[in-house]
Structure 1
Amino acid sequence: MDATTTTGGTVKDPAQGKKPRYVEIADELRARIKSGLYAETGKLPSERALTDEFQTARNTVRDALQLLRIDDLIESRGGSGVYLRTFRRIQRDAVERLSRKQWGAGRAIWDKDLHTRDRQEEVDIKEVDPPEHVARTLGVRGEKVWRRSRLYRSENRTIQQSTAWYPADLAEGTAITERNTGPGGVYARLDEIGHGPTRFSEEIEVRLPLSAESKMLGITMSTPIILIVRTAYDAEDRPVEVNEMMLDSDSYRLIYTFPS
């Protein structure tokens, strides 16, 4: 009798029920994690060690590890290895965080993201000549703009870098040019001078980082980054902000909630 069986006229191959090798490895590693095997160091064996242990190809091990990343069980750290995930992803709801009820009530949009989690930021503010694409969007060719560059950290982890530009005629003389923009942040200050944002557009791209970007965020070259370009418009539909953001994809989960 051959390796196949017939049921109701259908030929079945017993091998069809066998899991792919990378799934078997992922299941084994998941069981080890749940048993606490790696809890003391918080670190998994290297890809090479796992390749040797399971007697398989390195790409098979990488596929297994990717399944664990999808389950938020592990994360890679640049130049260090694979660790148990301890950082809870930030839920970034673009619609809620940018709503007037948030910044209009004097709350920072970061309060919506991080709630009570700790945060630190490095801020660099300067009046500059804008890049061509920013000048074109803001309609300020040949004019200066105010640039606010920020690097954000939470729980000892770099999570985002952003650079925002504002027309000088709006920002000049306001707290937009200062480190502390006050309650409600930049949007509240724009609102005070009659240019509060009434709509936003965000363009999103996901790609692998350049070496300088991976170094800035402290991530591996194989960890995708999320690039978001946001433009804010006032009631006259004038662009009042261009903000280019780079997020560590291992730190965020993007959420969009909106009415039908």
Structure 2
Amino acid sequence: MARSFEDKRSAHQKIAATLRRQIIRGDLAPGEKLPSTPALMEQYGVAGTTVQKALLMLKHEELLVGQPGKGVFVKGGTQQAVSPTVYMPPAEAGEPYRWITEAAKRSQRGSTKLLDVGTVLPPREVAKAFGLQEGEPALLRKQILLLDDEPTELTCSYYPLDLADGTAMMDRRKIRGGTPTLLNELGYPPRAFVDEVSSEIPTEEEVVALELPKDVPVMLTFRVVYSDEERPIEVSLLTKAAHKYRMRYRLAVT
């Protein structure tokens, strides 16, 4: 017999969750007007202040916008799907990082902001992926990816020092075409990658970097990129706002 379980979230959080799902999945379209506060009060059996708290949450998430004298309308749309495979191939000679060229195809302006470059002791799971010994350092390149000047992804990418040492990856500057292009030029083309995607509570760094509203989870992708002979050449932790993006994979079934 199944045990009983109660959703102990406050009433306004439950209402916001329902409306958020309808917006993200497209049941409430951008520009669509929400029912009035009295109508929502009747629908959910709550007080007006509870409805207003729910709507305020979604306004902070930029999913709703209020128009004085007119009502509350859907501002945000469905989640933007991200297809990792399109970003993996190295950029063509002279072309910018694929994040920028792929954004342009969607009529968006892609850009990057380099935050840090340095030799660090990597997290345990990164060291394990590289096969590093305890205390062995790796190179970290940290940046924010932006779409139309809005922070989209916090990227922490690690590289083994025996591969990165003496290359432009060690410099605190952007790399034309991105590190995939440089690695390819060094004889380490990307051949495969493995993603582990999870939903997590954001750290303070992630909240600030991605300008997240309160109580919004993040989608964290732990990615290992392999070159020839299954050599791991990059391990990245990629963090996005979970309410704005979804991952899209197309895999052949054999």
TM-score range, shorter chain: 0.5 to 0.7
Match of 2:32, as an amino acid?
Answer: K
Q: In the alignment, which of 105, 111, 115 is matched to residue 100 of structure 2?
A: 111
The DSSP-based 3-state class of the residue aligned with 1:34 is: coil
Residue 245 (structure 1) aligned with residue 235 (structure 2): no
Kindly state the Cα deviation for residue 161 of structure 1 after the two structures are TM-superposed: 0.6
Q: Which residue of 1 aligns with 2:226?
A: 233
Unaligned stretches of 5+ in structure 1? Answer: 1-21, 39-43, 66-73
Contact residue 30 and residue 77 of structure 2 kept, 8 A? no
Unaligned stretches of 5+ in structure 2? Answer: 1-14, 23-27, 66-73
Q: Which residue of 1 aligns with 2:197?
A: 204
Contact residue 209 and residue 221 of structure 1 kept, 8 A? no
- Distance in 2 (CA, whole Å) between partners of 1:144 and 1:230 is 19
Contact residue 75 and residue 85 of structure 1 kept, 8 A? no
**RMSD over aligned Cα, in angstroms?**
4.0
Q: Which residue of 1 aligns with 2:176?
A: 182
Q: Which residue of 2 aligns with 1:92?
A: 82
Q: Which residue of 1 aligns with 2:112?
A: 121
Match of 2:119, as an amino acid?
Answer: E
Contact residue 96 and residue 257 of structure 1 kept, 8 A? no
Match of 1:254, as an amino acid?
Answer: M
Residue 136 (structure 1) aligned with residue 128 (structure 2): yes
The DSSP-based 3-state class of the residue aligned with 1:103 is: coil
- Distance in 1 (CA, whole Å) between partners of 2:29 and 2:242 is 25
- Distance in 2 (CA, whole Å) between partners of 1:77 and 1:224 is 14
Kindly state the Cα deviation for residue 61 of structure 1 after the two structures are TM-superposed: 4.7
Identity of aligned residues (%): 24
Contact residue 79 and residue 245 of structure 2 kept, 8 A? yes
Contact residue 165 and residue 241 of structure 1 kept, 8 A? yes
The DSSP-based 3-state class of the residue aligned with 1:236 is: helix
- Distance in 1 (CA, whole Å) between partners of 2:239 and 2:46 is 36
Q: How many residues align?
A: 214
Kindly state the Cα deviation for residue 197 of structure 1 after the two structures are TM-superposed: 1.7
Kindly state the Cα deviation for residue 94 of structure 1 after the two structures are TM-superposed: 1.6
Q: For 1:67-87, what per-residue CA distance to the aligned partner results, in whole angstroms no more than 9, with x for missing partners?
A: xxxxxxx95426x99434257
Contact residue 63 and residue 76 of structure 2 kept, 8 A? no
Kindly state the Cα deviation for residue 210 of structure 1 after the two structures are TM-superposed: 4.4
Q: Which residue of 2 aligns with 1:5?
A: none
